[in-house]
Every structure is written in structure tokens, then in C-alpha cells.
Amino acid sequence: MPAQYEKQELRFQYPDNWTLADEQWDEWPHVVSVQSPSGAFWTVHSYPPGSDPQALTQEVLQTLRQEYGDVDSDVVVEDLLGNQAVGYGMDFYCLDFVVSAQTLAVTIGNATLLFVYQAEMREFGDLLP
């Protein structure tokens, strides 16, 4: 049975063998992160109303490019609960591994949510929701 996270207005399920790795509710953005036994992670950042989803995902892409250099990226647009989510699919090298990551941001209700998930390329597809 999947584990459930529920705090304030944020609620989601995650695999029961993953662990809650980080949680921050004291200041904006609010952040919750879960991590798999193999090191993959999924993070949601909750920003206050008025935050620009596209700017948030571009910031993630720029940060990865600064940290890892060459990052292949493709624009991603998905429907998330009836709202348009925008972001990037990204691949880059870290040590001897090819890492896949995706970032999506969407405004839902009174918050802009930024999702970032990352795993070694061979397991990335198996971990997608």
C-alpha cells in the first residue's frame, strides 16, 4: 500500500519503500521531498500566488546547467488536474551516470507548484507517476 503525505493543502501518495527526505514549511517556498532506496527523488515546492510557473522551471534548468555543464533539454507541456503544467525534460552526466530529470510547474488554486524529479536514466521511466 502506498504511503500518504498530507499537510496543510498538500496531499500525495508515494511508494511505501521511499522515505520522506526533506520538509520545510517555515517560509516560502514550502518544500517536501521523498527519496527512493536507489537515490531517485521527487520534490514539490509550493510558491505563493502570482509566481510564474515558466520562470520557476527555467530557473531549475539554469541551475542544472551551471552545476553540470551540458544539459540536454526538451520543453514539456502536460495536463495536470485540468491545468496546463509547463517545464523541461532534462538529461545530463553526473560522475559516470546519465541522469534524467523533469521539472513541471503549474498554478492550482492559491499556489504555484514546482515539481522536480530525478533518477539515473535506466530507472527514470519506471519511476514516473
Round to whole Å and give the CA distance between 98 and 113: 26
Residues 42-90 have pLDDT tens digits of 999 999 888 999 999 999 999 999 998 899 999 999 998 899 999 999 9
Whether residue 8 is contained in a domain is answered as no
pLDDT at 128: 67
pLDDT at 27: 85
Measured in degrees and rounded to the nearest 5, phi and psi for residue 10 equal -105, 125
CATH number of residue 109's parent domain: 3.40.1000.10
**Mean pLDDT to the nearest integer, 29-35:** 92
Q: Which domain holds residue 55?
A: 19-127
Give the total number of structural domains in the chain: 1
Amino acid at 102: Q
Whether residue 107 is contained in a domain is answered as yes
pLDDT at 64: 93
129, pLDDT greater than 80:
no
126, pLDDT greater than 80:
no
